[in-house]
Amino acid sequence: MKDFSSYSVVLTPAEEGGYTVTVPTIPGCFTEGDNLEEALANAREAIELCIEQLVANGEPVPTELIPSLISSVTISALPQHA
């Protein structure tokens, strides 16, 4: 039996500082943190709480067969429209 599950999270820098975190596999599961470490710790807690709520409501718990890797790519400036 599997003792753990992995979930992809999306960390987005917040304008006021810190990060907002969403969990694409679990709709409505989100959190935030003042830095990456706190955001990831809060994400772990939010996922656990969301799963507990799903189980309590008799709903299926979404799983990821292969967690996604989400990154960013920098490109040169976009062309200006005349």
Q: How many other CB atoms are there within 10 angstroms of residue 53's CB atom?
A: 13
Q: Is residue 42 part of a domain?
A: yes
C-alpha to C-alpha distances, 76 to 55, 64, 70, 72, 79, nearest whole angstrom: 46, 34, 20, 13, 9
33 located within any domain:
yes
Q: Is the pLDDT of residue 2 over 90?
A: no
Residue 78 in domain: no
In a domain, 70, yes or no: no
- In percent, the amount of the chain with pLDDT more than 70 equals 95
What residue numbers bound the domain in which 35 lies? 10-56
The verdict on residue 1 lying in a domain is no
Residue 21 located in a structural domain? yes
| Tokens 């890797």 sit on residue | 69
- What pLDDT sits at residue 50? 97
Report if residue 41 sits inside a domain: yes
The total of structural domains in the chain comes to 1
C-beta atoms surrounding 37 within 10 Å: 9
Instruction: Say what the pLDDT of residue 1 is.
Output: 45
| Other residues' Cβ atoms within 10 Å of the Cβ of residue 50 | 21
